[in-house]
């Protein structure tokens, strides 16, 4: 219903359904807007003349989209319709952009902390009622949304829905009993059906959710631990060790950003493709 400040000056939510904009929601808007800008601009350049390369930017966009479409989606699904292709391509780039942008620090928060050190107070905690603490903090939250279980759960749930959608689209109502592989003895059918039709897709979605969440959270936690050694032991000798270790993990996270986008969409394509025909 409304937001207020308690005695400590902390914001609290009172009653109603909490649909206020969080840092993760704001960051997902940033990712979505950036995707629209990049791919609409790339598509317009490519559409000018399909027989020519329209510069490096359009070439990179075309190569990446074709790779996801042909080598990930179509290679693991049997002649998928445009809806399934669009989902896989969108999921890949949403995860990729979210992972990469999450590696950039929250610029507004850094400026806020710096002002706090210089002036002795934080503009974030002394803003007027209804006033944003920092424009940069509002525009660039600097958070990895794929490290939030709500985001990974939603994306995994979409894949589960696509698994059922592909099964009913390509097999019709027969998918209900065709979920069980052919050749299974009749007396095993009552046991196999709930496993294959209900538990199987849900387990696949759970694996997708946890894998993406754990991998994107683990790297950030390791960096935090390595840098935390400096403040915990207050030793100048640990500074170069912690900095080099955190830098190495940061470079590893760049690779993980691409790898996790690839793994999520690859497994989603395989799971969707498996439900298109009876095995």
Query: DSSP characters for 56-92?
Result: HHHHHHHHHHHIIIIIIIIHHSSS--HHHHHHHHHHH
Task: Give the pLDDT confidence score for residue 128 in this predicted structure.
Answer: 45
Task: Give the pLDDT confidence score for residue 121 in this predicted structure.
Answer: 61
Burial 9-37 (b: 16+ CB within 10 A, else e): eeeeeeeeeeeeeebbebbbebbeeebee
For 83-95, how does the pLDDT look when each residue is reduced to its tens digit (9 = 90+)? 899 999 999 999 9
Tell me which residue has tokens 């049997």.
78
Greatest mean pLDDT among 8-22, 66-80, 152-166 lies in 152-166
Q: How far apart are CA 226 and CA 220, in angstroms?
A: 10
Task: Give the pLDDT confidence score for residue 69 in this predicted structure.
Answer: 94
Angle between helix 200-233 and 238-274 (nearest 10): 170
Task: Give the pLDDT confidence score for residue 238 in this predicted structure.
Answer: 83
Element (H, E) at 2: strand 2-5
Task: Give the pLDDT confidence score for residue 132 in this predicted structure.
Answer: 44
Task: Give the pLDDT confidence score for residue 6 in this predicted structure.
Answer: 67
Task: Give the pLDDT confidence score for residue 126 in this predicted structure.
Answer: 45
Partners of 13 in beta bridges: 3
Task: Report the predicted TM-score, pTM, of the whole model to 2 decimal places.
Answer: 0.84
Q: How far apart are CA 197 and CA 178, in angstroms?
A: 9
Angle between helix 149-171 and 238-274 (nearest 10): 20
Nearest CA among 162, 154, 156 for reference residue 73: 162
Greatest mean pLDDT among 17-31, 151-165, 173-187 lies in 151-165
For 237-255, how does the pLDDT look when each residue is reduced to its tens digit (9 = 90+)? 888 888 898 889 989 999 9
187 pLDDT above the threshold of 60? yes
Task: Give the pLDDT confidence score for residue 131 in this predicted structure.
Answer: 42
Q: How far apart are CA 71 and CA 122, in angstroms?
A: 50
Q: How far apart are CA 139 and CA 215, in angstroms?
A: 26
């Amino acid at each position: 219903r409304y937001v207020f400040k308690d005695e400590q000056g902390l914001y609290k939510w009172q009653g109603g359904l909490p649909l206020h904009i969080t840092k993760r929601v704001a960051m997902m808007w940033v990712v979505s807007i950036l995707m629209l800008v990049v791919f609409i601009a790339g598509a317009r350049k490519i559409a000018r003349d399909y027989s020519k390369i329209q510069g490096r930017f359009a070439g990179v966009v075309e190569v990446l989209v074709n790779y996801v479409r042909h080598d990930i989606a179509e290679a693991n699904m049997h002649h998928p319709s445009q809806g399934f292709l669009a989902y896989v391509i969108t999921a890949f780039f949403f995860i990729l952009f979210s992972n990469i942008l999450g590696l950039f620090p929250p610029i507004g928060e850094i400026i806020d902390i710096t002002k706090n050190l210089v002036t002795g107070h934080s503009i974030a905690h002394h803003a007027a009622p209804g006033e944003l603490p920092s424009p940069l903090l509002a525009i660039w939250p600097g958070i990895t949304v794929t490290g939030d279980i709500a985001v990974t759960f939603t994306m995994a749930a979409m894949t589960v829905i696509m698994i059922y959608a592909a099964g009913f689209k390509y097999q019709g109502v027969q998918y209900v009993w065709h979920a069980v592989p052919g050749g299974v003895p009749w007396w095993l059918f009552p046991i196999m059906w709930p496993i294959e039709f209900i538990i199987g897709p849900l387990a696949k979605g759970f694996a997708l959710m946890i894998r993406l969440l754990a991998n994107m959270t683990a790297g950030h936690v390791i960096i935090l631990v390595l840098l935390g050694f400096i403040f915990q032991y207050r030793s100048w000798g640990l500074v170069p060790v912690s900095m080099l270790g955190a830098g190495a993990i940061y470079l590893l996270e760049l690779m993980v950003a691409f790898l996790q986008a690839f793994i999520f969409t690859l497994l989603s394509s395989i799971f969707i493709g498996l439900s298109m025909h009876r095995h």
